[in-house]
Structure 1
Amino acid sequence: MLAAVLLDVDFTLFRPGPELGPDGYRRVGARHGLTLDPSRHADAREAALTDLQVHPELVHDEEIWIRFTEAIVVGMGGDPVLARSCAVDLVRQWERHENFLLYEDALPALALLREHGLRVGLVSNGQRDLEEFARHHRLDVDACVGSRAHGKVKPHRSIFEAALAALDAAAPEAAMVGDSYADDIEGARALGMRAILLDREGAHVGEPDRIDTLLALPAALGLAPL
């Protein structure tokens, strides 16, 4: 019987705001004497993702995200010599709670989970303080486990186990919802949890337990209409 739901944060409940988009990168770059081309942001980010190397032991490591952001800055036309200081500044922007916007389906979905009496937790890889983030955005959740405080990143089993312990739920009683197949879905299923892939962009059509909006989550979890 379902007792708890774990949710990823970035690109599941929240999307980056303008300060974290192409023009935001351009503005931060200008502060560091760089002229960055916003039209190159998408391709630069995709290339940086391809080369992104996680810690071999899945340890949370800020340096990985600095190098990732540095690669984006260079890909947008930034001088490699000046790119690191700009990347550090940009990583700090990703720590600011006000730089994130809720998807329109996030709060209604959370409310429906609550109405069914489910315990709700957030599990996220990232630099920000997740508990402060939840308070800032007034999210009605029972637990927050962020990789910066926990020390390991998804899909390491311990970060899921910490969230389950905080919610007093066993893996078969819980479901994980997230946008990353490798981090969220495979990580949760390895523990025996059910996992729902949120595929907003339609990149995984045909994948089992897939939804394209959080408004479809209650039905996907088999929750009866109230």
Structure 2
Amino acid sequence: MRPRAVLFDVDFTLVKPGADLGPEGYRRLGERYGLTIAPERYGEAREQALRHLQRHPELEHDDEIWIAFTERIIRGMGGEAEGARACAEEMTRAWEHHANFDLYEDTLPVLEELRRHGLRLALVSNTGRNLEEFVAHHRLDVDAALGSRTHGRTKPSPSIFRAVLELLDVAPEAAVMVGDSLEDDVEGARALGMRAFLLDREDRHPEIEDRLPTLLALPAALGLERPG
């Protein structure tokens, strides 16, 4: 069945963190807090932090979880000093600034093509950002946008998916979810009866059947014919 709507995750799906949120951004911010941070250790530190990331038991949005996650990255990059906590708090706030993100090159072309086929579009993200303001800042043509701080619960909770579908007036079986997290986006959406695609830009999950290397592969995966 052709879908009526497509829901998108935001970070690492439609947008990527800008320079201030990357390795050099951590180094520069760390200097202000008396920390010596090694940018080359960012990748390993972030992977370690992800492995230790703990969700709220009821999947409630909890800013403290993300501050602790960021502090673990900072310490993993060598910032083992008293200022690590304050540095993590400021870096976490920086993730709420819309201008700190850049659109992937395939984002706007794919959104435009889906629109040409008459699909309704929405964003759903685990974030403290106000996604409606984020949409306006990046001039994204979508019908709805909902973040976990606004909603109160995070993906993969079915309630946040259900809330977005209600905004679109679309049933789960008529909607598709696209995101970069296997647990949050793919498994969370499928548990509600939606079809879901894993966006695997770095080719980490070749074993997944419904996998997209880029967003450009999405229209064909949905069975949409390109305009002649």
Q: What band does the TM-score fall into relative to the shorter chain?
A: over 0.9
Letter in 2 for 1:178: G
How many Å apart are 1:206 and its aligned residue?
3.1
How many Å apart are 1:39 and its aligned residue?
0.9
CA distance in 1, matches of 2:129, 2:34: 26
2:35–2:81 Cα contact (<8 Å) kept: no
Letter in 2 for 1:216: A
Aligned match of 1:109: 110
Deviations 1:142-182 (A, max 9, x none): 00010010000000000000010000100011000001000
Aligned match of 2:83: 82
Which segments of structure 1 move beyond 2 Å, counting only runs of 4 or more? none
Aligned match of 2:26: 25
Say which SS state the counterpart of residue 81 (structure 1) adopts.
coil
Aligned match of 1:55: 56
CA distance in 2, matches of 1:158, 1:196: 19
How many Å apart are 1:87 and its aligned residue?
0.2
Gaps of 5+ in 1: none
Aligned residues: 226
The question of 1:201 aligning with 2:202 is answered yes
Letter in 2 for 1:15: K
CA distance in 1, matches of 2:66, 2:148: 13
How many Å apart are 1:30 and its aligned residue?
0.8
Say which SS state the counterpart of residue 161 (structure 2) adopts.
helix
CA RMSD of aligned residues (A): 0.8
CA distance in 1, matches of 2:12, 2:80: 29
Aligned match of 1:145: 146
Gaps of 5+ in 2: none
CA distance in 2, matches of 1:84, 1:26: 15
- Report the identity percentage: 63
Letter in 1 for 2:100: N
How many Å apart are 1:96 and its aligned residue?
0.7
2:19–2:25 Cα contact (<8 Å) kept: yes
